[in-house]
Structure formats: structure tokens, C-alpha cells
């Protein structure tokens, strides 16, 4: 049995036990956490390809071809040449950025050679993927500062001592105009315009710059220069990665295989990608308590993709716990605490994860919101004419937009909670999507009257809570 197989067997035994037990969870996190440095070189080529493909959106031209390439390189006494391109465009990194880095770590531990390609040249162009306008170019100072921040923050997920760093200015800066024109003569413009974001912008009359059209060509030339076996990228990078395959073929090279990674949904449960601009992210430089709390706030449906994105759990282990939830032998809250512990342990260590878990339980297992401490509040007299969705967005800042608040209501994540003055059981009233559009001053008294409830009123959006005063 392989080293990974032995670990899965031990973890599966723990996953069948009482997962509300702190002791069991700590043993589980020790086992699964140790996999982040587990040697995977004893896996067969087929097992390696299957493990990698299980976390990819697409493997082109297929997982079987990936296994063949692994086997071929093994016969030559070497590993695959793996590339991940990084445009250092921000100093702060969030969990969404860690997804491809975790996959790179697995490649490393399988015995393959990883190159992090620093896009110091292309960062000055700006990748327009998913954007509605051209991204501002960066200076050399911006790039250096952002790269330093990136390395510091993703270090818990990746062994930088076993990676080759290259900068694409090495081969792109000296590229001549005749060379570029000769290359462009072989690339149809129609292929570049297949990108959905390009088509959308043209349809809207926004236009495109030549530098944006040339970005996929520049990225593809990186693969040519490095003679990659495999390139990783987000699912939104697919056409750029395929351009690498095309240019490698034009240069007489074996075209790289492509692995695309999922774009992880943000913590607010609205369906939007994790993003700093939307405020639905988990920062890698956040405290252990903050990370634990943010993961605990996500909708239950995000537990499966989050387990796949940021843990070393295998598909059979994930299937095991999901089956237990289905048969009601495992509470979703207990699984979410394990997920939160996995993420905290990866960034801050197992001891910090245990403390964050204990702190969360101590704070949120209380029966009364009044015991939690200071909560934000909204005055129904002052803001009663505003819609509930508008209050959540502009007054409390609980949701990034009114439409996000409506989607939360549609998912039954928006409600009023009443704590009777007598200290009895809480009364919870679900607010529907239409209620989210109505004035707060109308909705609250109406719902309280329908429920026959009185006492201290709280507005709950997901796991965010505010007291409603002036009712």
C-alpha cells in the first residue's frame, strides 16, 4: 500500500467516529495535516494523474495523456516540468490564490520539477481575464513588493526551497518586432477573440487595446521558453493556456498539457468568486480566530468545494463524511468546524487551530446573543424607511450589495431572531426574498405580530448578527 493509502485508511477510521469530540478532531487534523509534506513519489503514474485530475476543472487533452507523460519522463529518469505563471499584482493574497499552489505542492511531492514564472514583463501589460477594462500597468517597484508579499503568505502551502524561479522579461524583453510579426501571422485573430470577456466588452462598445490581445501570446511564449510539460492556471485562463499548446506546436515542441483549477466561490454564498473587492475572501495574513470564524460563516453547500480546494482529503474521505451528513450521523456544524480547523492549521499550525476551535465554541455555543458581547445595531426608527437589503448593505455592511442580500434571503439565510425578555427559547422568523425589498420599519413589526413574539430583536444574515433597536 502507498504512503497516501495508509494515511487515508487511518483517517477514514477517525472519520467514522464521533466528530464532535475535540480529541478525535485533533487526531484527524494531525493525520490529514501531515499529508501536506507527504512523499507521493510511490504513487504510480496512473494514481498520480487521477489524484491531480480530481482537483482540476479540466485536464487537456486528458488524464490518460497526463499519465502517459509522467511515465515517459520516468523512463527518462526525470520528472515533469511544471509551470505556474504569477503576475504579482497585489500585496495581499487570499485563499483563492492558494488553490493552484496546493496542486503545485502535490506535483513537487510526486517528484516533478516546478517553475514559478514571475510575470514581471506581462504584469506591465496586465492580464484582462474577467475584467471589463484594461488593468493599469505596474512599476518594477510594485512588482517587487507584491512578489515579496505573495511569497510570504503562500509559504505555508508550498516549499519554495524546491522551486525554480524565472522572470519572463528574460525572453520577452529582447523579442524583436520582426519575430513578433512572423509569429502573429500564424495566429488567427478569431482565436484570440474567442474569450468571452473580450466578446462581451466588444458587444458593449468598450473596445480592446492591442496589448490585451497580445497578452495570451506573451503568456504562450513563456511555455515555449521553458518547454513545459504541464501548465496550471485558473479556469478563466483556459484560452491563454491553450495558446501555449498552439505556439509550442508551431515551434516543433511537444505541446504542454493543461490543468485548470476551479475559481473558488466566496464566503458570502452569493455565487461570486472569492475576491477582495467583494469582501467575500479569507486573507492568508488574517488571524487564526478570524479565519476560523469566516469559514464557519459559509453556507453548508460550500463545504465540499472548500474541502477539495484547501485540504489534502481524498474524494473517498469527502464522500464518507457527506454520506454521514445525509444519513444524519454527522452534524454539518461539526464538519464545518473540522474544515475551519484544516485551514487554520495549514496557515497557523495545529495548536492555533485547536485554540481557534475552542474560542469559537465558547463564543457561539451560548444560548443568548446578548452574551456574545458587543454586536452591531440598527435603529428601526432611523432606518425604517430603507429596504432590509439596503440596510444590510449600506448600514451594516453585512452584504456587498442589495442583490447579494436578496440571494441570501432566497437561500433562507435571512431572518429575524427574537429573544424573549423572560429568557425563554428564541423565536426565529425567516425573511423571504420579497421581504428583503420592503422597508425595515414595516417588515419587523409585521413579522413579530405574525409570530406572536416580543423581546429583543436581532437581524441575522448568514452568521452575521445585528440588534434591531427602536422597534
pLDDT in tens, 433-456: 899 999 999 988 888 888 888 888
CA 374 to chain CA centroid, Å, is: 30
Decide which of 161 and 61 is more confident.
61
Note the pLDDT tens digit of each residue in 123-137. Answer: 766 555 444 444 556
Average pLDDT of the chain is 86
Q: Other CB atoms closer than 10 Å to residue 20's CB: what's the count?
A: 13
| 104 against 413, higher pLDDT | 104
More confident residue, 125 or 336: 336
- CA 26, CA 68: separation in Å to the nearest integer? 39
The domain defined by 56-261 folds into Rossmann fold (3.40.50)
Confidence band, pLDDT 50/70/90 cuts, at residue 206: confident
pTM beyond 0.75, yes or no: no
Q: What is the mean pLDDT of residues 368-392?
A: 81
Q: How confident is the model at residue 269 (pLDDT cuts 50, 70, 90)?
A: confident
Q: What's the pLDDT band for 237 if we cut at 50, 70, 90? A: confident
How many CB atoms sit inside 10 A of residue 310's CB? 22
Residue 135: per-residue pLDDT = 52
290 alpha carbon, distance to own chain's centre: 16
Q: Per-residue pLDDT averaged across 4-23, rounded?
A: 95
Looking at per-residue confidence, does 452 or 248 come out higher?
248
The pLDDT score that the predictor gives to residue 402 is 86
pLDDT higher at 419 or 387: 387
Domains 56-261 and 377-469 share a fold: no
Write out pLDDT tens, residues 29-48: 999 999 999 999 999 999 99
Whether residue 256 has pLDDT greater than 90: yes
Res. 297: pLDDT tops 80? yes
Domain boundaries, the chain: 56-261, 377-469
CA distance 169 to 332: 49
* pLDDT band at 272; cut points 50, 70, 90: confident
Is 184 or 363 the better-scoring residue by pLDDT?
Answer: 184
pLDDT above 90 covers a percentage of the chain that reads 45
d(CA 28, CA 99): 22
pLDDT reported for residue 134: 47
Cβ(52)–Cβ(201) below 8 Å: no
Domain 377-469, classified CATH 3.10.290, yes or no: yes
- Segment 39-58 shows an average pLDDT of 96
Give pLDDT, residue 143.
74
Burial of 167 (0-12, 13-18, 19+ CB in 10 A): middle
Which residues are CB-neighbours of 65 under 8 A, at least 6 positions away? 59, 257
Amino acid at each position: 500500500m502507498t504512503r497516501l493509502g495508509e494515511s487515508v485508511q487511518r483517517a477514514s477510521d477517525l472519520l467514522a467516529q464521533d466528530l464532535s469530540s475535540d480529541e478525535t478532531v485533533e487526531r484527524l487534523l494531525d493525520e490529514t495535516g501531515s499529508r501536506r509534506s507527504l512523499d507521493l513519489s510511490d504513487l504510480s503514474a496512473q494514481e498520480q494523474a487521477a489524484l491531480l485530475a480530481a482537483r482540476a476543472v479540466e485536464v487537456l487533452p486528458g488524464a490518460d495523456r497526463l499519465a502517459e507523460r509522467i511515465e515517459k519522463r520516468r523512463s527518462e529518469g526525470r520528472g515533469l516540468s511544471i509551470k505556474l505563471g504569477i503576475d504579482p499584482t497585489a500585496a495581499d493574497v487570499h485563499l483563492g490564490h492558494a488553490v493552484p499552489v496546493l496542486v503545485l505542492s502535490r506535483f513537487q511531492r510526486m517528484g516533478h520539477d516546478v517553475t514559478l514564472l514571475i510575470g514581471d514583463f506581462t504584469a506591465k501589460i496586465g492580464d484582462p481575464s474577467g475584467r471589463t477594462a484594461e488593468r493599469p500597468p505596474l512599476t518594477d517597484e510594485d512588482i517587487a513588493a507584491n512578489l515579496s508579499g505573495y511569497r510570504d503568505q503562500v509559504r505555508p502551502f508550498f516549499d519554495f526551497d524546491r522551486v525554480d524561479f524565472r522572470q519572463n522579461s528574460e525572453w520577452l524583453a529582447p523579442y524583436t518586432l520582426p519575430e513578433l510579426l512572423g509569429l502573429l501571422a500564424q495566429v488567427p485573430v478569431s482565436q484570440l477573440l474567442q474569450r468571452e470577456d473580450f466578446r462581451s466588452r466588444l458587444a458593449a462598445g468598450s473596445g480592446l487595446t492591442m496589448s490585451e490581445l497580445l497578452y495570451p501570446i506573451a503568456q504562450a511564449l513563456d511555455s515555449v521558453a521553458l518547454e513545459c510539460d504541464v501548465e496550471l492556471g485558473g479556469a478563466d485562463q483556459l484560452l491563454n493556456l491553450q495558446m501555449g499548446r498552439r505556439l509550442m506546436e508551431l515551434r516543433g515542441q511537444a505541446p504542454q498539457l493543461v490543468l485548470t483549477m476551479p475559481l473558488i466561490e466566496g464566503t458570502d454564498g452569493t455565487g461570486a468568486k472569492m475576491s477582495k473587492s467583494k469582501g467575500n475572501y479569507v486573507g492568508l495574513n488574517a488571524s487564526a480566530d478570524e479565519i476560523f470564524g469566516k469559514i464557519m460563516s459559509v453556507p453548508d453547500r460550500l463545504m465540499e468545494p472548500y474541502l477539495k480546494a484547501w485540504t489534502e482529503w481524498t474524494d473517498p474521505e469527502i464522500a464518507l463524511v457527506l454520506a454521514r451528513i445525509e444519513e444524519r450521523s454527522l452534524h454539518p456544524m461539526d464538519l464545518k468546524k473540522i474544515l475551519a480547523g484544516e485551514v487554520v492549521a495549514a496557515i497557523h499550525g495545529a495548536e492555533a487551530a485547536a485554540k481557534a476551535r475552542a474560542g469559537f465554541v465558547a463564543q457561539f455555543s451560548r444560548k443568548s446573543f446578548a452574551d456574545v458581547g458587543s454586536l452591531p445595531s440598527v435603529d428601526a426608527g432611523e432606518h425604517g424607511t430603507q429596504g432590509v437589503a439596503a440596510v444590510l448593505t449600506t448600514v451594516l455592511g453585512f452584504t456587498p450589495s442589495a442583490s447579494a442580500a436578496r440571494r441570501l434571503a432566497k437561500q433562507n439565510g435571512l431572518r429575524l431572531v427574537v429573544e424573549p425578555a423572560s429568557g425563554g427559547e428564541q423565536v426565529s422568523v425567516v425573511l423571504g426574498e420579497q421581504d428583503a425589498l420592503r422597508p425595515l420599519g414595516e417588515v419587523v413589526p409585521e413579522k413579530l405580530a405574525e409570530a406572536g413574539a416580543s423581546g429583543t430583536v436581532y437581524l441575522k444574515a448568514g452568521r452575521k448578527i445585528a440588534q434591531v433597536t427602536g422597534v
